Structure 1
Amino acid sequence: MIDLLSYICLGIGIVFWFWGTSHLLGRRSILFKLHSLSVADTLGSMSIIFGLLLKIPSEWPLLILAIISLAIWNTVLGYVLAYCSSSGDSYE
């Protein structure tokens, strides 16, 4: 049962990766594309890591650290991108 749940999490993670990448082909703004890609990539990566956590429970400290690092890194990167794109003429 745990193996099945692990494979489901791995599959969901891969689906999120491809779903986020599919938004790059749309006609929306670059910021919308980056936001969609980063959210889908974060959720997909976390799902894959959770699937690995179910598969290899002896490595839980490293996998939990990876999940926390993903959440913090992608949140900070999103704020940095939003700040950099919010006002282009503030340095003049």
Structure 2
Amino acid sequence: MEGLVEGLSSLFFAVGVLFWLWGTAPLIGDRSILFKLHSLSVSDTLGSMSIMIGLLLRIPREWPLLVLALISLAIWNTILGYVLAFCSQRKSL
């Protein structure tokens, strides 16, 4: 059973790193800066959350702290996305 948990944890770590790399690939494209920031923030959030789940499987005694980190990642990265979108709008005087 312990080997299965270790393997699943490693899989979540690998998926997290893949999300991080996947999000940096659009940075070299010709798309708008907002598209680049959006793809980077989404993939960074998903990658970080996947790594946190891997940590949760590996050290379950720390579940309150890791669940708090997961919730914080989801909330703060979503709010940051809304702030970036709001600040990028052209305001008329």
Same fold (TM over 0.5): yes
- For residues 1-92 of structure 1, the aligned pairs below 5 Å read 1-87=4-90, 89-90=91-92, 92=93
In the TM superposition, what whole-angstrom CA distance separates every residue of 1:61-83 from its partner, at most 9, and x where no partner exists?
00000000000000000000000
Q: What is the TM-score of this pair, normalised by structure 2?
A: 0.94
Q: Distance in 1 between the 2:89 and 2:37 partners?
A: 14
| CA deviation after TM superposition for structure 1 residue 60, in Å | 0.2
Residue ranges of structure 1 left out of the alignment (5+ in a row): none
**Identity fraction in percent:** 67
In the TM superposition, what whole-angstrom CA distance separates every residue of 1:14-43 from its partner, at most 9, and x where no partner exists?
000011011111110000000000000000
Q: Secondary structure at the match of 1:45?
A: helix
Q: Distance in 2 between the 1:63 and 1:39 partners?
A: 19
Q: Secondary structure at the match of 1:7?
A: helix
RMSD: 0.7
